[in-house]
Chains A and B, each alone.
Chain A
Amino acid sequence: MNIFERFMKLDRRWIYLFLLAVCLLAYYSDFTVPTIVEKETSAIYNFIDSLPPGEVIFVAIDYDPSNQAELHPMTYAIMEHAFRKKLRVVFTALSQNGPGMADQAIHDLADSLRVDKTYNGVEYKGRELVNGVDYCFLGYKPYYALVITAMGQDFRTPFPSDYYGTPLDSLPLMKKVHNYDDIAILVDVSGGNITDAWISYGQGKFDFPLALGLTGVMTAQYYPFLQSGQVMGIMGGLLGAAQYEDMTDNPGLAKDGMRVQLPAHLVIILFILMGNIGHFAGRKNRKKVQS
């Protein structure tokens, strides 16, 4: 068996081993993968970045733990950016298994905000996040379409109290926040069809700036809404999250992920090329034999 034939008939387990080794190596190493920032993502970043301190943004965390790998990085990137900019965040989790995850996210964020950091040359002092002042977690209610519509009247209609049981009226943050008119932008991070409800029942009826964070597979489906202007920006999968992290100069989960993604893709492409080289070289050899 010459080398080309070996290329063609590699045991799949070598591929697995090689892929795993590369993934682990990349996971534990420390390099950054440059990403090209796309317009769809920078639109979201620029909008949030230009908001004055004290403005309220709304983050809808609409995914299950099964989509955590792709979507959690977006939530972290956007919320940290907002908190560092002294914006305030209202968020919901309208997916059944989402609330626990959202709760964990806000705890993690509170931890990382206690530390002083410098992003894009600006120094941000560490501070303590206060529930009800800096953020408000509304929680989960079933029938997302109805919840989204009802929130157009007042957030208190579906959520009289927040996730932790405190009545909304007693939270300082919510004093002046009643419905979508009081928020600067709504970012929907979603792994399912709740996005459609935000577009048609939320944005369509109440007309607020809507940005989407979607799983990679869903992204292509929502480009038409970007073109029609119903959606002001889209972050697609881990790639979108990595772009956002690049812009905020705060490499996190997504950049970690991209560090594995790029070599993993390259490994797969390498094996495809090897198979093809083997195929063509083998064909040449066979032809020689025939002639």
Chain B
Amino acid sequence: MFSVLKMKKYLGVFYLIALVVIYSTIAAQVPVDATAVVHPPAPVTGLTASDTDSDHGHSITVNWKPSTDDGGGANSVIGYRIMRSNSPEGPFDTVGIVPLGSKTFENSSSIEAGTTGFIPDDTNFYFRVDALTADPAVFSSSEGTGPVHSYGQWFNKGLYPVLWAVIIFTVLTVMFVSAAKKGKELYVRPLAGIEAVDDAIGRATEMGRPILYVFGLGTASDIATIASFTILSRVAKRVAEYQTSLIVPCYDPIVMAVAQDVVKTAYMDAGRPNDYKEDAVHFITNAQFAYVGAVNGIMLRELPATNIYMGKFFAESLMLAETGVVSGSIQIAGTDEIAQIPFFVVACDYTLIGEELFAASAYLGREPLLLGSLKAQDYAKAAVLVLALFGILAVNFAGDLGMAWLANFKELFKVID
């Protein structure tokens, strides 16, 4: 890093010297006399205008070759003005000004008609680019170009890598799931956090104390919460079988509604619909720390034997886990929020790290269908590893081995929004 910084420093000096040189040449060429006339610069050439690719329309990209007086020649150009008109004759309106050295400009607007600078689709426009000088009155216009009209595309080419990844991954998932359906035996390595769930429920039954299940701050649109629903449904089923009680305080009302459904169905599946209590799953509040305060209170007053934290957690992770330690509960956590994993690892008895949370639903059910998708995930990981290894070798060595075309291998994976 430090060597890089040093180089940057020298670059700065270099730029400074270059600037001084350029400035002195300009100063030498431009007469000091203030009344001196600035001659119109050479106009820009090769002007083209076309619809901007891979976008929602309402945008036109203008390209040109800079004036010969831009950074050379008479050196009088200070910038370019992009002008637009509805007819080839004009009148032209300014749509943008860019500094010298620019070669392209994107004239775009929002898709809502009536917003400022709105560009209607399928309407012909004509463009012109003026090379500007320090004197506002002195500039030279290019030949006009047009007609050109904007239109929306039906595919974003910058997302090719994502498209391929999604398609391949979907195919893998479907493949392995159908293989699993046919009864193919799939091995999965044991996960300590998952195996602890059963013991923990048993422990709660022995102690006659409830189980606390916390979703964290996720809404029903977070995938971590959706994965957590499946885990809850397994937990609730076993809780119903063991006839232990369950407390699920919720932060998000939709999560609450879904969780009520999940728990109710689980009790019915376990054949004990009468044991289900409506207020087992209840809403607390939508504010992070009020929610934490209330859950902490529940922990110290109800003294749950087991706390299960699955879903999306933020700063409250450690607050919940530490209070859980005080109440003497066994704690099992799983989250996809990277910054919070360390706190769970430190304070909880078992932690599902990141991806393991998403695998947990499959593990708990031991259903071949869900296990099949784990296999797909593993293959995808293998693909990532192989591609990364190949990529890093290509980036570092392909050039030396005379395979320059390979050096750009990584660009295949670049996502452009």
Contact = CB atoms under 8 A, between A and B. Distances in A.
Asked if chains A and B are in direct contact (CB within 8 A), the reply is yes
Nearest to A207: B99
A130 interface: no
B221 to A, nearest CB: 19
B377 to A, nearest CB: 27
Contact of A227 (B4, B326, B339): B4
Contact of B8 (A39, A217, A229): A229
Contacts of A227: 1, 4-5
A229 B15 CA distance: 14
A12 B1 contact: no
Interface residues of A, number: 5
A80 B5 CA distance: 29
B161 to A, nearest CB: 21
B168 to A, nearest CB: 30
A12 B347 CA distance: 13
B326 A12 contact: yes
Interface in B1-44: 1, 4-5, 8
Contact of A217 (B1, B5, B339): B339
Interface in A62-115: none
Interface in A185-236: 217, 227, 229
A197 B398 CA distance: 36
Contacts of A12: 326
A241 B4 CA distance: 26
Nearest to B12: A229
Interface string B356-376: 000000000000000000000
Interface of B: 1, 4-5, 8, 326, 339
A41 to B, nearest CB: 14
A209 B1 CA distance: 20
Contacts of B339: 217
A227 B5 CA distance: 7
Chain A binding surface SS class: helix
Contacts of B326: 12
B110 to A, nearest CB: 11
A12 B322 CA distance: 10
A207 B251 CA distance: 44
A12 B5 CA distance: 46
7 contacts: A12-B326, A39-B5, A217-B339, A227-B1, A227-B4, A227-B5, A229-B8
B108 to A, nearest CB: 12
Nearest to A217: B339
Contacts of B1: 227
A62 B373 CA distance: 43
Interface string A158-198: 00000000000000000000000000000000000000000
Contacts of B4: 227
A220 to B, nearest CB: 11
Contacts of B5: 39, 227
Nearest to B339: A217
Nearest to A12: B326
A80 B244 CA distance: 62
A229 B339 CA distance: 27
Nearest to A13: B326
Contacts of B8: 229
Contacts of A39: 5
Nearest to B326: A12
Contacts of A229: 8
A214 to B, nearest CB: 15
A227 B11 CA distance: 13
A12 B321 CA distance: 14
Nearest to B11: A229
Nearest to B1: A227
A59 B1 CA distance: 28
A237 to B, nearest CB: 15
A144 B40 CA distance: 39
B99 to A, nearest CB: 9
A245 B326 CA distance: 41
Contacts of A217: 339
Query: Can you list the 7 inter-chain pairs with the closest CB atoms, starting with the nearest?
Result: A229-B8, A227-B4, A227-B1, A12-B326, A227-B5, A217-B339, A39-B5
A234 to B, nearest CB: 13
B325 to A, nearest CB: 8
A217 B337 CA distance: 14
A268 B26 CA distance: 64
Nearest to B2: A39
A217 B342 CA distance: 14
A227 B8 CA distance: 9
A68 to B, nearest CB: 16
A201 to B, nearest CB: 14
A39 B339 CA distance: 27
Nearest to A206: B99
A72 to B, nearest CB: 20
A227 B339 CA distance: 24
A273 B240 CA distance: 45
Candidate in A39, A217, A229 with the most chain B CB atoms within 10 angstroms? A229
Nearest to B8: A229
A39 B9 CA distance: 13
